[in-house]
């Protein structure tokens, strides 16, 4: 993309295959995940200080290592890997550069399309629950937006931890969220969750807006609220003696390895809603932005 705007600013372009520098890995991309942050960057709604045009979008990739830069250890050319490109974008391409800490061997039980759905969303869910939320076995967690890309991983990670999982989702997604392990699912369109949910130790806010504000009424004293979208009110946090924060996920190889182990052990599954061919990147972003989503959407590159 050479400018900010609608999906039409995504244009196919021929570029040289990049060369990995020290500490970098070149991945031949087989599939790339599509995330809300992609269309927010494209539209100009979300601009990081380092976002400089032109850019190639895309934070999730799965593929094979094509080349390795100086100082990288633990990988070989030809290894099948997946990566969370947080230091830069670049996933919507046949080849992408990743820092070595952004890469791990992909789950053996997944194909590349499934694996590309994992890195950003699953890392976000993991860090929200455990790094920031400090979730422990036996605690009660409320997950808003539980059927989405991040939410469907959060439900499974929390359940695997031994937490009691309460979730909000639309009526069409209740069965899915229950299958993923939620102990209670509230239809947010037809029920007021604050009237249905007993107090919780942790709120994972993937929705923001008035949903976040209403969540204070079900948070225990000295609980925690973690959002991926908007900083929770410090004043209300003080009233509840609560920890409250907004955060942006950061990749680590250790986290990606841990997630892969859970997936290969059959404890976490990937909900892949739809795949698109590479030329349909603009369509994929448009549908993600405007249509209902359950799970993840992925671009699949041609062989």
Kindly report the CATH number assigned to the domain that includes residue 140: 3.40.50.720
Do the Cβ atoms of 170 and 176 come closer than 8 Å? no
Q: Which residue has the higher pLDDT, 44 or 180?
A: 180
* Residues 6 or more apart whose Cβ sits within 8 Å of residue 114: 107, 270, 272, 298
pLDDT at res. 207 = 94
User: By mean pLDDT, which of 52-56, 104-108, 187-191 is the weakest?
Assistant: 52-56
What's this model's pTM, rounded to 2 decimal places?
0.95
The reply to whether 279 and 225 lie within a common domain is no
Mean residue pLDDT across the chain: 95
pLDDT at res. 303 = 60
pLDDT at res. 128 = 98
Looking at the chain, which runs of residues are DSSP E strands? 24-34, 60-68, 80-84, 95-99, 103-105, 140-143, 164-169, 184-187, 200-205, 219-227, 243-246, 272-277, 296-300
49: pLDDT strictly greater than 60: no
pLDDT at res. 135 = 98
Considering its fold, how many domains does the chain have in total? 2
Q: Which residue has the higher pLDDT, 160 or 89?
A: 160
pLDDT at res. 48 = 60
Domain containing residue 48? 7-118+270-300
pLDDT mean over 92-110: 97
The reply to whether 101 and 180 lie within a common domain is no
237: pLDDT strictly greater than 60: yes
Do the Cβ atoms of 122 and 83 come closer than 8 Å? no
Which residues partner with 142 through β-bridges? 166, 203
pLDDT mean over 230-235: 95
Q: Could you read off the pLDDT of 197-225 as tens digits, one per residue? A: 999 999 999 999 999 999 999 999 999 99
pLDDT at res. 33 = 97
pLDDT at res. 46 = 74
The reply to whether 68 and 156 lie within a common domain is no
pLDDT mean over 89-110: 96
The reply to whether 56 and 108 lie within a common domain is yes
The reply to whether 132 and 37 lie within a common domain is no
The reply to whether 176 and 230 lie within a common domain is yes
**CATH code for the domain in which residue 95 is found:** 3.90.180.10
């Amino acid at each position: 993309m050479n400018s900010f705007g609608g999906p039409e600013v995504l244009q196919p372009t021929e570029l040289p295959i990049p060369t990995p520098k020290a500490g970098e890995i070149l991945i031949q991309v087989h599939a790339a995940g599509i995330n809300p942050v992609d269309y927010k960057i494209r539209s100009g709604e979300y601009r990081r200080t380092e976002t400089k045009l032109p850019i190639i979008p895309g934070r999730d990739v799965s593929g094979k290592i094509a080349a390795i830069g100086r100082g990288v250890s633990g990988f070989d050319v030809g290894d099948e890997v997946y990566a969370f490109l947080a230091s830069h974008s670049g996933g919507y391409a046949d080849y992408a550069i990743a820092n070595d800490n952004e890469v791990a061997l992909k789950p053996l039980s997944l194909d590349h399309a499934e694996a590309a759905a994992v890195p950003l969303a699953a890392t976000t869910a993991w860090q929200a629950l455990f790094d920031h939320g400090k979730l422990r076995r036996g605690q009660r967690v409320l997950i808003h937006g539980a059927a989405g890309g991040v939410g469907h991983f959060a439900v499974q990670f929390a359940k695997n931890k031994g937490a009691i999982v309460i979730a909000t989702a639309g009526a069409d997604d209740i069965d899915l969220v229950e299958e993923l392990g939620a102990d209670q699912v509230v239809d947010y369109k037809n029920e007021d969750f604050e009237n249905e949910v007993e107090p919780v130790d942790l709120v994972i806010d993937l929705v923001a807006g008035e949903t976040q504000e209403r969540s204070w009424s079900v948070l225990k004293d000295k609980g925690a609220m973690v959002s991926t979208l908007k900083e929770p009110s410090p004043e209300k946090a003080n009233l509840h003696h609560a920890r409250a924060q907004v955060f942006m996920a950061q990749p680590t190889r250790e986290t990606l390895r841990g997630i892969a182990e859970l997936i290969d052990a059959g404890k976490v599954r990937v909900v892949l809603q739809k795949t698109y061919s590479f030329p349909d990147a603009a369509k994929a972003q448009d549908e993600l932005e405007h249509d209902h989503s359950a799970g993840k959407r992925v671009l699949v590159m041609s062989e």
